Structure 1
Amino acid sequence: MIRIVVVDDHPVVRDGLRGMLDGQPDLVVVGEAENGRVALDVVARESPDVVLMDLRMPVLDGVGAIERLSATCPAIRVLVLTTYDEDHEIIRAVEAGATGCLLKDAPRDVLFDAVRSAARGEPVLAPKLTAKLLGRLRGPRPESLTDREVEVLGLVARGLTNRAIGRELAISEATVKTHLVHAFTKLDVDDRTAAVTVALERGLLRLKRR
């Protein structure tokens, strides 16, 4: 019997997963958690074979929880189950120690097989995600950010609006937007938060202590 802990901040999702998984003769949900911090306690108590982990949660997110589980319980397999297919989040989860990743719209049979594969220590990745990540790896190397783009992202990280950034750098708000669009394209992201996150991860941006 494969013992599973389900980690998701939505009770309806947890209930649905429990209902599906418990219906399989070789799968059983032994615990649930609404965030990464609670998950650490539940996993320590239940010693599951597989943890189904959401990524975006309050208190402690999925990547943070995976990092801690990898350090304290390396034999436990973590299978990410997420709504989002953003490359950088999937890569962060795998680098943190996740065995694999599925999207929440995966058919139930695919989910069951993925849990069984994860329990055996076999890597699991949704076909859609495999195609995206391979495309990213095979694509041209990303361009470096210009000094001005780094400056703009640094001010974004400090919480400044586009207008405030323009005042700080003595440029127009439209120019700030242009720099952000160029940075988004180079970093392959769609929003300000993701741009700062990826730039920090790649060492392109370093936040100054204030």
Structure 2
Amino acid sequence: MSRRDEIIDVALRLFAEQGYQATTITQIEAAAGLSPGAGGLYRHIGSKRELLVAAFDRVIDSRRAAQQAPGIAEPADPRTAISIAGRAFLGYVAADRDLYRLVLRGGADLPVDLTDLYQRLFQPGFDEVAGWLTQLAAGRRDFDAAAVAAVALSSLCYFAISEFTYGCPPGDIAQERFLAAWTDGLLAQLGARP
């Protein structure tokens, strides 16, 4: 990991904890092990806003790389495939926890175009899952893959966000139990036997 990446990580963590507006360059420098107020941060990045944009871009690039990486063979059993997909999505959210916390904490106050961020960061995932669900639905014309994908991914997001925001999952349901019910719900939508 480069020094620039370390600084971006520190900045994103502080932005998530304190809010973007409340976090100062001096605080970021101190937390990153640079001399506070000496301007050392500017050798690695041009501004506080650039730190924020770099953090978002890094997550977007990481997601694109993961989508393009050769995957393992997809299980023939839809239940297993859906369960693996749910766990993978929760893993993405967990890996990007500070980004989610930041957007939830003060999205409207961030100096970025949130619509553009959504289109670049989140919409591709919804589109990919909708395409995958269409394949699993085996050509059913009455199947609304985009709506089912939106409901499925939104429920996973809320589960993860509830855990790191409130310290407990929704309904105090353990992750394994939630994923089992989530998988059964998707199988039912697909017309498969849960």
- Normalising by the residue count of structure 2, what TM-score does the alignment of the two structures yield? 0.23
More strand by share: 1
Q: Which has the higher contact order (CA 8 A, sep 6+)?
A: 2
Structure holding more helix per residue: 2
Tell me the TM-score normalised to structure 1 length: 0.22
